[in-house]
Amino acid sequence: MSRVQVVRPAGAGHETLYVLLVSLLILAVAAGIVALRGERLDEVSIEAHQLDARRDLNAAEQGVYADLRVAFDEIQARREEEPQLLAVEVLAEEGFPPFVLDASSASRGQHQWQLLQERAYLGLSQANAVAGSFLLLVPEALDGAADVWLQRSPSAAVPADFSQAALIAAGWQQIAAHYDAGVTRQHRH
Amino acid sequence: MTVAQPLLNRACGPDIAFAEVDLTLGRTRILDKVSFNVAAGSVHALVGPNGGGKSSLIKTLLGQMPHQGQLTLTWPGDEQIIGYVPQALEFDRGLPMTVDDFMAAMCQRRPAFLGLSRKVAPAIDAALQRVGMLDKRKRRMGALSGGERQRVLLAQGLIPAPQLLVLDEPMSALDEAGIQVFERLLHDWRAAGTTVLWIEHDLQAVARLADRVTGLSRRVLFDAPPTQALTPERLLSLFSIHPRSESTA
């Protein structure tokens, strides 16, 4: 009995094929594990009455919003010494944007700020095409977070009630900021 | 040759057929339509100039080159053992590896530092005995002379008993005693029907010991029994810079 053995060329494809198959297998296993065990964390949807601070505000509104958050920190710090909220005039005198009247406030809609019932600051926009009107709700707690609302219609008025439902009914929209995904990964829907 | 005939009949080595084997590495054509046969149980010598593709042909036979063309071995039985004796062994001369360690590393699965395995120890003893290195088995490989080291390489090619032996210039490093050992081994292989493919530079040894000789310089220049092949004209053309094959000569 005789056996014929054909010497196969080295590196003539079959080794490459095996390596390719193994790498495909590794890819398939990895993809399977990711598909089975992966969870999506970046799918935080905002609610209908909310605006995304990053995507839904124009440039002027973003500036006012950022300034409001900084001023809010100062307001909260002052409350530790004195429970009264700082008056708008005091904030303007100390030069806190957006309360101070200067060139940037003029270009951002020239909001007229007022303190409401010792718990909210209302800034009514004088140029609704540039920026909407802002409402900053100061929480009861000293370490609470700022709650900022926006209304773009020119009919924005002093709200009678600061409850969420009442504000929504009056046409206000809450500005929601969440830091789930990088700006580079955003895609407009 | 009344004695040789029955011996050849019980050849246990394979028949090797090279058919239009091409080998190109990079842009260098190393083998060009090489076609010849190595008869089962014969001692087949391969001669040619340096860079003529002899070692590459052997690597191709051992399946280590991306060749083109057909290369088949027809084995007469189930046993398909190829023994290979390289031209030289490259290693650090200071390596504390004895002859026994080397044989153990080559011939057994058990790690060499655990000593010779009982299964292969008799075969290693016999192989070292055959090459006359039995009394030097405790010597360091680095301390051996080139000829002695070549004998150890020959011994490792004997285990397990091969049906095909591939020798890459075994005699170049051998001393006088080693050459006698090699000739005795060659005689034994011929008697056992082992196919021997043998690269050699010593043409006198080829004429004396080989059954057939192939002249290789990128392509096959001649393939005939040594008495016909090793004529002055053929050798001059084989070792010239512009070798011409027989058909174009």
Q: Flag whether residue A12 sits within 8 Å of chain B, measured between CB atoms.
A: yes
Q: What pLDDT is stored for residue B1 in this prediction?
A: 38
Q: What is the pTM of this model?
A: 0.59
Q: How far is B17 from chain A (nearest CA, A)?
A: 10
Both structure tokens of B27? 């842009």
Interface probe for A, chosen from B23, B24, B58, B64 (most Cβ of A below 10 Å), is: B64
Is B1-81+163-249 CATH 1.10.3720.10? Answer: no
Q: From the CB of residue A102, how many other CB atoms can be counted at a distance below 10 Å?
A: 11
Q: What is the pLDDT at residue A10? A: 81
Q: Do residue A4 and residue B64 have CB atoms under 8 angstroms apart?
A: no
pLDDT (tens digit per residue) in B25-62: 888 899 999 999 999 999 999 999 988 899 999 999 99
B64 CB neighbours in chain A (<8 A) are 10
- The rounded distance, in Å, linking the Cα atoms of B123 and B131 is 13
Q: How far is CA A36 from CA A23, A29, A39, A106, in A?
A: 20, 10, 9, 54
pLDDT at A57 (0 to 100)? 82
CB atoms B71 and A6 under 8 Å: yes
| d(C-alpha B238, C-alpha B118), whole Å | 49
Residues in a beta bridge with B47: B215
Candidate from B63, B77, B78 with C-beta closest to A7: B63
Report DSSP letters for B19-78, one per residue: EEEEEEETTEEEEEEEEEEE-TT-EEEEE--TTSSHHHHHHHHTT-S--EEEEEEEESSS
**pLDDT for B57:** 94
Cβ atoms within 10 Å of B222's Cβ, excluding its own: 21
Measured in residues, chain A has a length of 189
Residue-by-residue DSSP string for A65-129: HHHHHHHHHHHHHHHHH-SSPPPHHHHHHTT-TTTS-SHHHHHTT--EEEEETTTEEEEE-S-TT
Interchain proximity B71–A12, CB inside 8 Å: no
Contact of B22 with B31, CB cutoff 8 Å? yes
Cβ atoms of A13 and A20 within 8 Å: the answer is: no
Residue B46 sits at φ, ψ, to 5 deg, of -120, 115
pLDDT band at B243 (very low <50, low <70, confident <90, very high): low
Give the gap in angstroms from C-alpha A13 to the nearest C-alpha of chain B: 9
Find the CB nearest B71 among A7, A11, A12.
A7
What does the alpha-carbon distance between residue B111 and residue B97 come to, in Å, rounded to a whole number?
13
Closest to B89 in 3D by CA, of B32, B25, B170: B170
For residue B230, give the 3-state DSSP assignment: coil
Task: Output the pLDDT for position B104.
Answer: 93
Write out chain A's pLDDT in tens, 189 residues.
Answer: 678 888 888 875 777 889 999 999 999 999 999 999 987 766 667 777 888 877 788 888 888 888 888 888 888 888 888 877 778 888 888 888 888 888 888 888 888 888 887 788 888 888 888 888 888 888 877 777 888 888 888 877 778 788 888 888 888 888 887 766 555 555 555
- Give the burial string for B120-151 (b: 16+ CB within 10 Å, else e): bbebbeebbebbbbeebbeebbeebeebbbbb
Q: What residues does B72 pair with on adjacent strands?
A: A6, B17
Closest CA to B117 of B101, B137, B95, B135: B101
Mutating which of A3, A7, A14 best tests the B interface, going by the most B Cβ atoms within 10 A? A7
What's the pLDDT at A182?
57
Q: Identify the pLDDT of residue A169.
A: 84
Of B217, B224, B225, nearest to B245 by C-alpha is: B217
The arithmetic mean of pLDDT across residues B8-15, rounded, is: 73
d(CA B161, CA B189): 10
pLDDT at residue B8 above 50?
no
* Predicted pLDDT of residue B103: 93
pLDDT of B7 > 50? The answer is no
Render pLDDT for B162-187 as a digit per residue (tens, 0 to 9): 999 999 988 888 888 889 999 999 99
Q: Which residue is it, tokens 């004529």?
A: B231
Of A1, A5, A10, the CB nearest to B72: A5
Reported as a pLDDT band with limits 50, 70 and 90, residue B248 is very low
Averaged pLDDT of chain B: 87
pLDDT tens string B118-147: 888 999 999 999 999 999 999 999 999 888
pLDDT score of B2:
38
Q: Are B75 and A6 in contact (CB < 8 Å)?
A: no
C-alpha B40/C-alpha A27 separation (Å) is: 48
Q: Sort out which chain B residues have CB atoms less than 8 A from A2's CB and list them.
A: 74-77
ipTM given for this complex: 0.70
Tell me if chain B has a CB within 8 Å of the CB of A9.
yes
pLDDT of residue B5: 44
Q: How far is CA A43 from CA A49, A57, B218, in A?
A: 18, 20, 67
The two structure tokens encoding residue A182: 């990088």
